Chains A and B, each alone.
Chain A
């Protein structure tokens, strides 16, 4: 258990490293790099979201896995998915959130809610918030103190993948846990 947690912590720190604006992340722009470098609180928050997407996009594709933990026995996914226009935590999402809750312990976490590109901006902002809130409630049910969980909705503004089909939309309807 101890080794697993430290391992996961390492993964998470690595991902944070990427988030800080490493130039090799696909899609990392001068804007987000600049923001990470010194634009203060605001820029960091946005840069983090972009970087997070870029890193997690690669996760699971073993060849690009920067941790080289190929056979380590499964990684912790920080993301759960939703059905169209739904904010219901299904069994798989519940499982993922329960694992995250065990791993989070006393850490603070931001839950980002996201939507696919279909639908209006304002409805999707509300739907993304509902997804983040649903994930938050589940984390609370698993013993995480509500005060440690912040939620933010990006609506359809920050897709994980850029496709314009059902496969892409399914990946974009999500809540992400950003430690």
Chain B
């Protein structure tokens, strides 16, 4: 039993907190680790007891329920990732106060079947929530990384929990998480469609528009602070930019005919889009500062759905120039246009992973549509999902999970997520009265 390893860190953390330091994250090392590139793995059993509710002086404060709420959100995030089996809190053999104050008694957590245990405490003070946590490897009897504190204004306590979940995910997988992020999407009820935004777990939904005009395809800017979307407010499809924190909206051009498929360059300075003003759907890039426009495609087929590679040098897009909709890549100046899909006769809506290693797209055929991935060279195509109608893939910020729209035959359309193993398909919890489509996933909220 080596719980003495724990104590110096514990003391160090308390000391650090006392002087107001936030300890830096520490990444995974030998021991408890998850390889998220492989499918079919057993989820890691993890114990996430309620965080101890404490006063600023460290004494226990039983009057707040924040400790339970934080633990619930952390647990839900990790469970939904498919990589963790969250153990039932009722059966725990060590109570949260003892766990926090004395450190884990690993033999008890082994009896509980846990391979990892989280100990945490939370304080609500002066309108701020701050939570401190440790992650422990039960079989090694040692902490994984150091203690860490996260804080946020009280109304944003969810963010504290999501950041803790991201940190646990990062320490055990070696890759950054995706829980402290938002999804913007098109909500629909009756004949209204409007823009709505929520946390990635489906909570905290806020409607951004009222539904008086048809809106389509919202797209988060690389910094998560602005959207592009298509609206018919003028009677014709036009692209608008919405700066979420100032509330300002701008029309991004008014070109004759179709204006659609806006896509931010990774540095946020350019927009790729589809315009029809030269008589045919072609891809253009607009410099957002200079306002200048350049045309990238020149052929009589449809060219649409551009999406940038994370280095900004390449663009993947959809074209039916070869007779059926297929996926192509090109340089960001339009040169070197290359077809990369050859299987099937409906491949569309490509979107480049933020890691750069894969392109997700919609594959149709045989009466179904699903989400597939392929590498940018056009190799190793893999189907992840299939249904009556799966579409609009949107990458999580870590490039490991894809949100998409699923519509059953005559059924309401809903948002789902799938990870790259293709084995952890989940519906995003949502008001059952509302249909949802066209997700766009924000970067991590800093």
Q: Mask for A108-138, Cβ within 8 A of B = 1, else 0?
A: 0000000001111111011101100100000
Select which of A32, A50, A133, A150 is within 8 A of B279 by beta carbon.
Answer: A133
For the complex, give the distance between the alpha carbons of A126 and B391 in Å. 16
Q: Which B residue's beta carbon lies closest to that of A43?
A: B212
Interface range, A side: 35 or more
In angstroms, Cα B158 to Cα A81, docked, is 51
Which residue from B216, B232, B304, B437 sits with its C-beta under 8 Å from A46?
A: B232
Asked if B202 is at the interface of the complex by the 8 Å CB criterion, the answer is no
Contacts of A29 in B (CB 8 A): 190-192
Q: Please state if B234 and A120 are interface contacts (CB–CB under 8 Å).
A: no
Complexed CA–CA distance, A43 and B261 (Å) = 23
CB-CB nearest in chain A for B234? A42
Q: A-B contact count, CB below 8 Å? A: 118
Q: Which residues of A contact B410 (CB under 8 A)?
A: 164
Are A120 and B212 touching (Cβ within 8 A)? no
A145 to B305, CA, bound (A): 32
Interface-facing stretch out of B18-26, B50-58, B285-293, B318-326: B318-326
Verify if B330 is at the interface (C-beta below 8 Å from A). Answer: no
Most chain B beta-carbon neighbours within 10 Å: one of A41, A125, A150, A151? A125
Kindly provide the distance from the CB of B298 to the nearest chain A CB, expressed in whole angstroms.
15
Complexed CA–CA distance, A44 and B233 (Å): 10
**Bound Cα distance A68, B171 (Å):** 74
Does the CB pair B232–A129 fall under 8 Å?
Answer: no
Q: Smallest Cβ distance from B276 to chain A, in angstroms?
A: 5
Interface size on B, residues (CB 8 A): 47
Chain A contact residues, majority secondary structure:
helix
Would you call B242 an interface residue if the criterion is a C-beta within 8 Å of the partner chain's C-beta atoms?
no
Cβ contacts A38-65/B at 8 Å (1 or 0 each): 0101111110001000000000000000
Is B180's beta carbon under 8 Å from chain A?
A: no
Q: Are B274 and A120 in contact (CB under 8 A)?
A: no
| Chain B contacts with A in 241-270, Cβ cutoff 8 A | 257-258, 260-261
The residues in A between 59 and 96 inclusive whose CB is less than 8 angstroms from any CB of B are 85
Between A and B, 19 residue pairs with Cβ closer than 8 Å are A31-B192, A31-B212, A35-B212, A44-B235, A45-B234, A46-B213, A120-B305, A120-B391, A121-B391, A121-B392, A122-B261, A122-B318, A123-B320, A126-B260, A126-B281, A126-B302, A130-B280, A157-B193, A157-B214
The 5 closest A-B pairs by CB, nearest first: A45-B235, A126-B281, A129-B258, A120-B349, A120-B348
